[in-house]
Amino acid sequence: MEPDIEDLSEAPCLKPCVPSYGPVTMRNMTMGETKLWCTCGLSKKQPWCDNSHKGTRFRPLKWTVGGTKKDGGSQTLYSICNCKYTMDPPYCDASHIHLPLKYLKAVKECEDAPHDTVEKICDKCGFVPGMFGSKEEKTATT
């Protein structure tokens, strides 16, 4: 089944989790090809959607590979955002540089913390179960 396409009007209020604090460099993509960029951060096939967003309010972003740069030259390398906080999706805009502390602070200070009822992701802060280790692990080390 085709995944739902992101409703951009809803996107700014959702906070994804962070797969990695840096972009993914993509090569050999076909001009005109349609890609679905993961916006939730849960996909195991980053930076693309694998439908892990099912059951959340996130939807992938549909993007068509352009093949040309802003200056008109041909483009073969793409720096695709993989922290999910870019303001220019799906391209990396270096938002990841200042993200780690902001992200962890938002998770700790989230109004829904300690997130006991979150099954997949908290769309207010990007918390995902297990991101600080499981309860069993914490108990075992204390």
Among 14, 40, 107, 121, binds ligand FES (CB under 6 A): 40
Q: Please give the structure tokens belonging to residue 73.
A: 């030259």
Q: Is 38 in the site for ligand FES (CB under 6 A)?
A: yes
Vertex 71 angle, CA 85 and 91, to 5°: 15
We find the least distance from the C-beta atom of residue 104 to ligand FES, in angstroms, to be: 20
- Amino acid at the residue 121: I
Distance CA 91, CA 70 (A): 13
We find the least distance from the C-beta atom of residue 4 to ligand FES, in angstroms, to be: 9
- Amino acid at the residue 97: I
Q: Is 14 in the site for Zn ion (CB under 5 A)?
A: no
Q: How many CB atoms lie within 10 A of CB 81?
A: 26
The partner in contact with residue 18, picked from Zn ion, ligand FES, none with C-beta cut-offs of 5 to 8 angstroms by kind, is none
Q: Is 81 in the site for Zn ion (CB under 5 A)?
A: no
Q: Is 121 in the site for ligand FES (CB under 6 A)?
A: no
